[in-house]
Amino acid sequence: MLEVSGVGVTYARGATTTKAIDKLDFTVSAGEFVGIVGPSGAGKTTLLKCMSGLLRPTSGAVVLHGREITQPPLEMAVVFQDYSRSLYPWFDVQRNVVLPLRHGGRKMAKDAALAATAEAIKAVGLEGFEEHHPWQLSGGMQQRVAIARALAYQPEILLMDEPFASVDAQTRAELEDLVLQVREQFGITIVLVTHDIDEAVYMSDTVVVLSRPPSTVQEILTIDLPKPRHQATTKTLPEYGKLRTRVYESIMVPDSRPASV
């Protein structure tokens, strides 16, 4: 469904250039949940921007359904880390969720947009909060609004950039389970960028481990854990512990590349 082929990103500042991503290659199948992890500064968010069409790679390409992505495609939605900046504070929950359905690239008729909005709001457990504004909601509830907006858009693929990084541990666990639930309900392909190894192993079918910058693909791991997954049972499985350790060791592998790279 989605192919990251030889993607590299180099930033230029005056006469100085910095290679953030060297050459990345991996694929995402339809219906798959792919987690992307790596050391701090490995270019995970930069990669997600390339995948979403928000940033053109310096080399290589991201291909969706055989078409190179050169701008944000209609088939995608993105949930960002900072929910407080992605929601309009002067809109209530319903208006925040319905906005891209009425004014975005995939415009719907009013009745269809409202029906999709109601379904998405219900899916994330925010029924009864339709008339609340973001500043009246907790951080976790605001991120649910952002997720609902992405679901209402009915994307084929959902990109998530560390979406739970700004919430407490209990809310994080609730949101992890929420995303797994709506993934099954809506049949969406998901790519999750996260710095949390536990989160990646718990949620993903496949984990892509990036190296230290300039980033390459260090390892691709299949997460063969039973489904459905549960916080209390999945994370106590011996297989879970082994996979978590494997990802951690892969991230911590010393960089053997020449210092000049």
**For strand 59-64 and strand 2-13, is the pairing parallel, antiparallel, or unpaired?**
antiparallel
pLDDT at 255: 63
φ, ψ of residue 189 to 5 degrees: the values are: -80, 135
Give 77-125 pLDDT, tens digit per residue: 999 888 778 899 999 999 999 998 977 667 888 999 999 999 999 999 9
Give 156-174 pLDDT, tens digit per residue: 999 999 988 878 889 899 9
Give 171-186 pLDDT, tens digit per residue: 899 999 999 999 999 9
Q: Quick one: pLDDT band at residue 228, thresholds 50, 70, 90?
A: very high
Q: Quick one: pLDDT band at residue 75, thresholds 50, 70, 90?
A: very high
* Domains of the chain, first to last: 29-56+70-75+156-261 (3.40.50.300), 84-154 (no CATH)
